[in-house]
Amino acid sequence: MRDETAADGQPRLAVVGSTMIDLIAYATRVPNAGETIQGDEFRLGFGGKGANQAVMARLLGADVAMVNTLGDDVFGDMTLRNFEAFGIDTDHVDRVPGSSGVAPIWVEPNGTNRIICVAGANDAMQPGASESAIRALLPLHVVVGQFEIPQPVTAAAFAAARSGGAVTVLNPAPAAEMDPALLQVTDWLIPNEHEFAGLAGASSDATDDEIATFAARTRTRLVVTLGPRGAALLGSDGVVHRVAATPVDAVDTTGAGDAFVGAFAYGLALGLEELRAVRLGVRCASDSVLRPGTQTSFPDRERAHGFLDEI
C-alpha cells in the first residue's frame, strides 16, 4: 500500500454511501398488522450505514471524507452539521431538491431492531460524480461502500479507488443481489450472517467450508459478522479465524454492524494485521450495543482509542 497518511499521521478513508435520519421507537414488542401499540421512548438521530461507518472510523482517528447526496430539506442541513461536528470532510456531499433519506426503526427490549430505509436523495447519486469525488480525494488508504445507494455508483467509486492504489471494502447491506461489476472491483466483502446466507446460499451458521467456498467464488477477501457470536475472517492463510464478541446485555443493536465495518476499515487503513482489525471491529460493535441510538451508541474517542490498545 502506498503512503497516503494525512498530515496528522492518520490514515485517509473515504465512504461512498448513504445518510439517513433515524427515527427510532423503543417498545416492549412490535405491532401486528392493523394494530396500534404504545411505545416507551423515541429518539431522532443520525444514521445511514455509510454515515455510521464514516463516523466510527473518524472516532478512531481516521481522516474521513464522505461522498453522498442529501435532499434540500432540514434533515439534509442537520446531517451536514453532524458531519462537520465530527470533523468529516463534506466537500463531496451534494444536495438535490427533495427529501433526504429516512429510516423508521423499531427496537424491542432485547435490543433487536427492524428497519425500513426510504432512500430519498441517496438514490440520486450518480456514478460519474462518485468517480470524480474519489479521484479528487486520492491518495486514500481505504474506500468503503454499502448497498443503500445505487450499486453502479459504488462500482465507479471503487474502480477509481483501485486505480489510485486504495483498498475497497464492501458491506453488502441491506441484502440484495450483487452487481458483478461491483464485485470485480471489491477487495474485502463484509456481509452479516443473514446477508451471507442469502448471497452464498449457505446456512446462517456460516460454517468454515461455506465461508471458504464463497470467498473462492467471489474472489474477494471475506469477513462474516455474526452478531453476538462475533465475526469470522478467512485469513490469507486460507484458515477461518473466529473472534468471539464480548458477552453483553444488549439494549439496542442498531448500527452495531456499521461500528464493525468502520472500525475494521480503520484498522486496515492503519496497517494493522487483519485479525487485529477484526478484533477492533468486534470490540467497537460489542460496545455499541450497550447504549441506545445509532451513532450516539458508538464508543467515544477516548473509549475507542482504549480498544486500540486492548486488541
Among 4, 22, 63, 187, binds ligand RIB (CB under 6 A): 22
Phi and psi at residue 206, in whole multiples of 5°?
50, 70
Stretch that binds ligand RIB, among 209-217, 254-262, 269-277, 302-310 (CB under 6 A): 254-262
Tell me: does residue 195 bind ligand RIB (CB under 6 A): no
Distance CA 200, CA 210 (A): 8
By CB under 6 A, is residue 230 in contact with ligand RIB? no
Q: Which active-site residues does the annotation give?
A: 258
Q: Which residue is nearest to ligand RIB (CB)?
A: 47
The verdict on 89 binding ligand RIB (CB under 6 A) reads: no
How many residues at the interface with ligand RIB, by CB under 6 A? 16
Cβ-contact 39, 26 below 8 angstroms: yes
- Tell which one of 49, 141, 221, 279 touches ligand RIB (CB under 6 A): 49
- Residue 192 within binding range of ligand RIB, rule CB under 6 A: no
Q: How many residues comprise the chain?
A: 311
Interface residue with ligand RIB, options 13, 20, 143, 223 (CB under 6 A): 20
249-267 burial, b at 16+ Cβ within 10 Å, e below that, comes to ebbbbbbbbbbbbbbbbbb
Using an 8 Å Cβ cutoff, are 229 and 250 in contact?
A: no
Tell me if 130 contacts ligand RIB by CB under 6 A.
no
* Joined grid coordinates for residue 208: 468454515
Which of 241, 238, 182 shows the shortest CA–CA distance to 206? 241
Interstrand relation of 221-225 and 188-189 (parallel, antiparallel or unpaired): parallel
> Minimum Å distance from CB 117 to ligand RIB?
5
Q: Which one among 54, 55, 93, 117 touches ligand RIB, defined by CB under 6 A?
A: 117
Does position 255 interact with ligand RIB (CB under 6 A)? The reply is yes
Q: Is 129 left (phi over 0), alpha (psi -120 to 50) or beta?
A: alpha
Please tell me whether residue 286 binds ligand RIB under the rule CB under 6 A: no
Determine the Cα–Cα distance for residues 119 and 285; give it in Å rounded to an integer: 24
Q: Out of 258, 289, 298, 299, name the contact with ligand RIB by CB under 6 A.
A: 258
What is the smallest separation between the CB atom of 307 and ligand RIB, expressed in angstroms? Answer: 20
Q: Are 223 and 171 in contact (CB under 8 A)?
A: no
Binding of residue 103 to ligand RIB (CB under 6 A): yes
Instruction: Round to whole Å and give the CA distance between 304 and 51.
Output: 17
Stretch binding ligand RIB (CB under 6 A), from 47-55, 87-95, 155-163, 222-230: 47-55
Binding to ligand RIB by residue 63, rule CB under 6 A? no
Q: 281 and 231 in contact (C-beta within 8 Å)?
A: yes
Site for ligand RIB in 151-190 (CB under 6 A): none
Residues paired with residue 47 on neighbouring β-strands, in sequence order: 20
* Min CB(122)–ligand RIB separation in Å: 9
Give the one residue of 47, 76, 145, 281 binding ligand RIB; rule: CB under 6 A: 47
Residue 76 binding ligand RIB, by CB under 6 A: no
Looking up cell 396500534 gives 36
Which residues partner with 95 through β-bridges? 70
257 binds ligand RIB (CB under 6 A): yes
Nearer to ligand RIB, 131 or 148 (CB): 148
Burial class of 247 by CB neighbour count within 10 A (0 to 12, 13 to 18, 19+): exposed
Task: Give me the residues that bind ligand RIB (CB under 6 A), please.
Answer: 18, 20, 22, 47-49, 52, 103, 115, 117, 148, 254-255, 257-258, 294
